[in-house]
Structure 1
Amino acid sequence: MPSVAEDKAITAAARADKDAQPLTPAQLKAMVPMKALRGRPKSDNKKLLVSVRYSPEVVAYFKSTGDGWQSRMDGVLQRYVHRHSKQA
């Protein structure tokens, strides 16, 4: 770590260089770790990761509908649950 005198000298040199200005307190406060910016955004509708076995015909059908087939499959199952939970 630099001493107080060295820190002042470094800061003065940085302020003298118009291309290398120190960050303002507001800029420092607005910074976010890169780790927080990676990956998919967090969903409000969290889903569970499970291992399930389906018949080959069911998987082949949904895959044949193109990208997003897993979400469509989830939608079909959600509608089934919705319909059948009202009857109970």
Structure 2
Amino acid sequence: MRTKLVRPTASEDARIARGVAADPDAAPDLSEPVEGIVRRPGRPLKADRKVSVTLRLDRDVVERFKATGAGWQTRINAALKRAKSG
């Protein structure tokens, strides 16, 4: 069941704000941007990043590369590079 939001009056809002400011456990004011604190997760981005694509290959080709173990997609990429330059 939805209830209607009742907004506080200006005086109630001011009283709430004073209470929050006086509370030592209240979260810090982050309305201003904090430079250098927020880090991007993960590794640094490489200059020559790869592009994610969807590619349909013949079953026997995929099975052959998968049979070689982990890194089979990297080996497909290497084979395509050799074919491009050859």
**TM-score, L = length of structure 1:** 0.55
**1:72 counterpart (70, 75, 85):** 75
Does 2:25 match 1:19?
yes
Aligned residues: 72
Partners of 2:12 and 2:34 in 1: how far apart? Answer: 21
- Once the two structures are aligned, what percentage of the paired residues are identical? 31
Cα distance 1:26–1:67, how it changes in 2: closer, same or farther (>3 A)? farther
Partner Cα separation in structure 1 for residue 54 and residue 78 of structure 2 = 16
Unaligned runs of 5+ in 1: 84-88
Task: Determine which structure has the larger helix proportion and give its number.
Answer: 1
1:51 to 56, 62, 76: 56
* TM-score normalised by length of structure 2: 0.56
